[in-house]
Amino acid sequence: MSNPDASGILARPLAGGSYLTEGRPGLSGWLATHDHKRIALLYGVGITFFFLLGAVAAALIRLNLLTPAGSLMSAETYNKAFTFHGVVMVWFFLIPSIPATLGNFLLPLMIGARDVAFPRLNLFSWYLYVGGGLFTIGALLLGGVDTGWTFYTPFSTMFSNSHVILAVVGVFVVGFSSILTGLNFIVTVHTMRAPGMFWFRLPLFVWAMYATSLVMVLATPVLAMTLALIALERLFGIGIFDPALGGDPLLFQHFFWFYSHPAVYIMVLPAMGVTSELITCSVRRRIFGYKFMAWSMLAIAIIGFMVWGHHMFVSGQSMYAGIVFSILSFIVAVPSAIKVFNWVATLYKGDIDFRAPMIYALGFVGLFMLGGLTGLFLAATALDVNLTDTYFVVAHFHYIMVGGTVMAYLGGVHFWWPKITGRLYPEGPARFAALLMFFGFNMTFFPQYLLGYLGMPRRYHAYPEPYQWLNVLSSAGASLLAIAYLMPLCYLAWSLRQGRRAEANPWNATGLEWTVPSPPPTTNFALSPVVTEGPYEYRS
């Protein structure tokens, strides 16, 4: 690598210590902090908490589906469990996961800035996240919501007897957290890059954050509007979606998917960014096709806005709308295919080590590819007719959003753990957890493709007996997956005190974040770095 810090001045530990020890002591030093790194850790605590809550709901779902009669819980409770699982995992874990934690921590460091453009707004975003979370937990404690995370009308507005309004308010509020984070990142990337950090010298993780932020800022307001309309109809009986009041239920689906399809890219683009960093460092090579990688992320972000109707092929929209959304959905798969091929090509003539982050990254590529390929089946209207609203769809989006995004998130957490905490994670357990996760994930969700192909509808509390053995297999896989998810929680916590101390750049990686001490000082850079070359110059 060419070292932007040849003199070593940036990497020298500062007298004042790190962002973890500097600043106001005690809880107020955290809850009132403007430091992007501390805010990233606040988010880290929040999303870990919600991930565990959502995982408990998932465990209940898988337990219930062990028997065809669904004897563990009543239908009402089951419906609330999968609704809670979806709402929490989508809005309180997946959407903020990588951007709010790794993004917040790394974006300023990677571009050579001292903080994000609006540090207070950043803290406010976290409070919005917590506020939205409280409404959602409130809805759970008062008895739950049974609409599914999609809030389809007129069920959600006129028929459900559960705490729809509280849940909707929770999601509405957390949506603003993501709008403001996106805004903050866009302005930061535009205005705060270090001298010499041109656009095409940005690490792909920064490109991923940028593309994600565009989607957050442009799509999330539509969600907010839609949720507000649900509240208007439910509270005041204003006919917007319910035909009995003169409304149109399909209008809701158009609004909802106009946000929620791009939201899939909010969840997976950051994972693509993380994977690109992990693979280049482990392979010690430039990424293959850097510009194609950057442009393909922007292409996904933009075309992703034009494919929402593929969620509605059997909804009653016109045949011609189906045709247009089908071809656009095939087209949006092209940039994803390019990315997979480029990651594989990056391995060519590399010098590959297989530390845990690399195993997570390879796992991401594999699972993302399987999720993407099955997405093509769903883009083909004639096949979607049979497969939509079955477990095939459930498997498909879990491959992308859980197999893909969670693998990449955890890979990133391991990779930057020494930078964030100043400690190294234990390599053996980390590799084992990554492999177990890959195996457990496939065992959980591959059977669900078969279930869907055989016609089992999703959101079924009880099901016909022939579907049982695949469900049992899936639940068994889920228990392995649960162990794999709990392992990092344990050994990473252990490493906080017992892990070996990390130097500034333990992986010998490129990237400005590795030029500062581990953990970094509050101000990140003592002097503004000057960038003289591209992001992955592992061999000059």
Q: Which of residues 462-491 bind another protein (CB under 8 A)?
A: 462-464, 466-467, 469-470
Nearest to 254 by CA among 306, 202, 301: 306
- Find tokens 């509808």 and name the residue: 457
Residues in region 244-263 near another protein by CB under 8 A: 244, 246, 248-250
The site map against another protein for 134-153 (x = CB under 8 A) is: ------------x-x---x-
Report the residue number, 71 or 528, with the smaller CB distance to another protein. 71
**CA pair distance 383, 106, nearest whole angstrom:** 42
Beta carbon nearer to another protein, 350 or 422: 350
The residue whose two tokens read 């001298």 is 195
What is d(CA 17, CA 131) in angstroms, rounded to the nearest whole number? 32
Q: Terminus-to-terminus CA distance in the chain, angstroms?
A: 7
Which residues, numbered 180-239, are part of the site for another protein (CB under 8 A)?
Answer: none
Closer to another protein by CB, 192 or 251: give it.
Answer: 251
* Of positions 9, 32, 45, 75, contacts another protein by CB under 8 A: 75
Alpha-carbon distance of 475 to 481, in angstroms, equals: 10
Residue whose CB is less far from another protein, 37 or 234: 234
Instruction: Please count the residues of this chain forming the interface with another protein, following the rule CB under 8 A.
Output: 85
Residue 286 contacts another protein per CB under 8 A: yes
Q: Could you give the CA distance from residue 17 to residue 23 in angstroms, rounded to a whole number? A: 10
Q: Does 447 bind another protein (CB under 8 A)?
A: no
If binding is defined by CB under 8 A, does position 377 make contact with another protein? yes
Amino acid at 213: S
| Closest C-alpha among 390, 534, 517 to residue 109 | 517
446 is a contact residue toward another protein (CB under 8 A): no
Query: What is the distance between the alpha carbons of residues 109 and 523, in angstroms, rounded to a whole number?
Result: 10
- The footprint of another protein on residues 149-188 (CB under 8 A) is 152, 154-155, 159-160
Judge contact between 304 and 264, C-beta under 8 A.
yes
Binding characters for another protein, 491-510, by CB under 8 A (x = yes): --------------------
The answer to the question of residue 6 lying near another protein (CB under 8 A) is no
Q: State in angstroms the smallest separation of the CB of 251 from another protein.
A: 12
Stretch that binds another protein, among 21-29, 40-48, 196-204, 329-337 (CB under 8 A): 329-337
Among 45, 134, 142, 323, binds another protein (CB under 8 A): 323
Q: Among 37-45, 283-291, 397-405, 493-501, which window interacts with another protein (CB under 8 A)?
A: 283-291
Judged by beta carbon, residue 203 or residue 366, the one nearer another protein is 366
In the complex, minimum distance from the CB of residue 454 to another protein, in angstroms, rounded to a whole number = 5
Report, in Å, the least distance between residue 409 CB and another protein.
21
By the rule CB under 8 A, 374 interacts with another protein: yes
538 makes contact with another protein (CB under 8 A): no
DSSP 65: T
Q: Judged by CB under 8 A, which of 43, 53, 55, 79 binds another protein? A: 79
Q: Which is nearer to another protein, 219 or 365 (CB)?
A: 365
Measured CA to CA, the distance from residue 154 to residue 403 in angstroms comes to 32
Figure out which of the listed residues 185, 205, 288, 417 binds another protein, where binding follows CB under 8 A. 288
Q: What's the min distance (Å) between Cβ of 513 and another protein? A: 23
290-319 binders of another protein (CB under 8 A)? 292, 314-316, 319
Nearer to another protein (CB atom), residue 138 or residue 457: 457
Q: Establish if 1 lies at the interface with another protein (CB under 8 A).
A: no
Q: How far apart are CA 141 and CA 53, in angstroms?
A: 12
CA-to-CA dists, residue 91 to 179, 384, 483, angstroms: 12, 26, 24
| Residue with the two structure tokens 């992990």 | 278
Report the residue number, 188 or 374, with the smaller CB distance to another protein.
374
Question: With respect to another protein, which residue has the nearer C-beta, 49 or 453?
Answer: 453
Measured distance CA(397)–CA(383) in Å, rounded: 16
Q: Which of 102, 369, 481, 509 binds another protein (CB under 8 A)?
A: 369
Please check whether residue 289 is in contact with residue 342, taking contact to mean a CB–CB distance below 8 angstroms. yes
Cβ burial of 336 (10 Å; 0-12, 13-18, 19+) is buried
Closest separation between CB of residue 506 and another protein, Å?
Answer: 16
> Which DSSP string do the residues of 111-156 spell out, in sequence order?
HT-SS-S-HHHHHHHHHHHHHHHHHHHHHHHTT---STTTT-TTII
What would the DSSP string read from start to end of 243-286? GGGT--HHHHHHHHHHHHHHHHHHHHHHHHHHHHHHHHHHHTSP
Question: How far is Cα 281 from Cα 1, in angstroms, rounded to an integer?
Answer: 11
- Tell me the closest approach of the beta carbon of residue 84 to another protein, in angstroms: 14
Distance of CA 423 to the CA centre of its chain: 25
Long-range pairs for 75-79: beta carbons < 8 A, 24 or more residues apart:
75/461, 75/462, 76/146, 77/144, 78/461, 79/146, 79/148, 79/459, 79/461
